[in-house]
Structure 1
Amino acid sequence: MTTKHTIPSDEDLTAFIDGELTPEEAARIEAIVNEDESTAQRLEFLARASLPFEQAFAPLLSEAPREKLEAMLAAIPVKQSAKFGPVFTTRRRFLGALAASLVAGITIDRAVIGVGARFSAKDENSEWRGVVADYISLYSAETLAGPVPGREDQAAQLAGLDEKLGLSLSPEAVSLPGIDFKRALLLQYDGKPLAQIAYLDPETGPMALCIVRSDAGPKAPDLESRKGMNVAYWSNATHAFMLIGHAAADRMTAIAKGVRGRVAV
């Protein structure tokens, strides 16, 4: 295989999405994308990974040593792109979030990337689970450290999800046996609201129940593995659900079965 046809790395593909490559490199990657289906699929996946990582880590960022981080970031040269300058600026601002997260003890293996509007998903329900798995893989026990919110706080957080997703969730409905509720967030995937309810399992660490609107129709419960975690997933006529965590497959299946019977839509 010649250098010309070497499969580009995720870093190369991300730079291509952001318009940071030279015209020659951009043309080379575009040619590979047009010829190689696996590269095209990976580029599509990276282009659609639009979950707001910075929002999820905001509590930790507020405690980070900002002066030191800002001094480090100031030394990074800003390369402006005529086509995607604002995207790169956003990425550089988010480097602060990544650095702060690293100082807080979170392992992060890649930076957030923007949405490429010209790419579309081939399998929506599988695609969103992959994006969420990438996102949850950033979590550590420290990410979710702190006291468990009281029932009123839990109910208030869940109520914020109901209006956007057409859900009717209560703390009792989403409670997981022996696992602490930590927070409920309204995120976004491919322009659609996505509910994430995060938990901390004392035995295996972070766990999350995620829900997104879907018109793909009902699907019986199933199990898969993503990013070293087990994912129990199912859907009804209006929503797709996934429970993701590091617990063993049989335990994840049992937990998912319990919450599936309680979640009302």
Structure 2
Amino acid sequence: MNTKHTIPSDEDLTAFIDGELTAEEAARIQTMVEEDKSTAERLEFLARASLPFKQAFAPLLSEAPREKLETMLAAIPAQQSARPASTPAFATRRRFLGALAASLVAGIAVDRAVIGLGRRFSAKDENGEWRAVVADYISLYTPETLAGPVPAREVQANQLAGLDEKLGLSLSPESVSLPGIDFKRALMLQYDGKPLAQIAYLDPETGPMALCIVKSDAGRKAPDFESRKGMNVVYWSNETHAFMLIGHAASERMMAIAEGVRGRTSA
């Protein structure tokens, strides 16, 4: 049977992320990801599913019928594939055991900590995950979310000073101003236990926009562009921090705005 265009299952996508497919199988899924939007979105979802379900449901997992499942799984021959010799065959069965036990007992989708995805997928772009989380958050903003007068310069400076303290930056209202776009607020959030600065703006033409910053040791990277949640994103980094500008403005305008603020905030 020709499987070239068969939609991959979650198990296939998980194995792809985990580097456990043969070269032929991996190439097939890579082609599907590039050609089929729903497959690409599902792959991104599985790669980002990092909520601590494993810890939350540990008591339930401890009550799962593990001995019976162990016996059943032990009877399944290990699939011969091109996985690295350093990855024993039982490791995949163990990850499946954890996922199956959680599904049977809790009735939920188990997170990547249970099925062993780790952070290898995000190694291609270690900043991609935090940008995805920011996009999820900013996608909830409407113009009404940011309604109200523009804060006075002194208020802006005080809010930015709070970001400086956590991130080791030196931001001023002038350095983060965006041409023709109203500064609304600066606040400190947290992602993966690390401070995440968000400076929110309201563009009279396209609505909410945000400049977000986290500490990063990934090194200097030139601006790049992507789309998330129907918004345009320009992202870059210097030696100490990673930045992203996200909004609904056209890509060319976003790039121009980002280039300006990048020049004023570069270390």
TM class, shorter-chain normalised? 0.5 to 0.7
Indicate the SS of the match to 2:141. coil
Which amino acid in structure 2 is aligned with residue 228 of structure 1? G
Change (3 A) 1:177 1:215: same
Quote the residue 2:214 is aligned against. 212
Change (3 A) 1:232 1:40: closer
Alignment partners' CA distance in 2, 1:217 and 1:191: 20
Which amino acid in structure 2 is aligned with residue 200 of structure 1? L
Indicate the SS of the match to 1:47. coil
Indicate the SS of the match to 1:262. helix
Which amino acid in structure 2 is aligned with residue 254 of structure 1? A
Alpha-carbon deviations, 1:135-169, whole Å to 9, x = none?
11111111111111111111111000001111000
Quote the residue 1:167 is aligned against. 169
Which amino acid in structure 2 is aligned with residue 42 of structure 1? F
Quote the residue 1:66 is aligned against. none
Q: Gaps spanning 5+ residues in structure 1: where? A: 9-30, 50-79, 85-114
Indicate the SS of the match to 2:223. strand
Alignment partners' CA distance in 2, 1:48 and 1:260: 32
Give the superposition deviation at 1:133.
1.1
1:135-150, aligned counterparts within 5 Å?
135-150=137-152
Work out the number of aligned pairs and report it: 182
User: TM-score w.r.t. structure 1 length?
Assistant: 0.60
Give the superposition deviation at 1:34.
5.1
Alignment partners' CA distance in 2, 1:116 and 1:145: 38
Change (3 A) 1:213 1:225: same
* CA RMSD in angstroms, aligned pairs only: 3.0
User: Greater relative contact order: 1 or 2 (C-alpha under 8 angstroms, separation 6 or more)?
Assistant: 1
1:223 to 207, 210, 225: 225
1:90-239, aligned counterparts within 5 Å?
119-120=118-119, 121-122=122-123, 123-239=125-241
Q: State the identity %.
A: 69
Which amino acid in structure 2 is aligned with residue 43 of structure 1? L
Which structure has the larger Rg? 2
Q: Gaps spanning 5+ residues in structure 2: where? A: 18-39, 61-110
Indicate the SS of the match to 1:172. coil
Q: Larger deviation: 124-133 or 248-257?
A: 124-133
Quote the residue 1:253 is aligned against. 255
Change (3 A) 1:35 1:143: same
Alignment partners' CA distance in 2, 1:40 and 1:83: 29
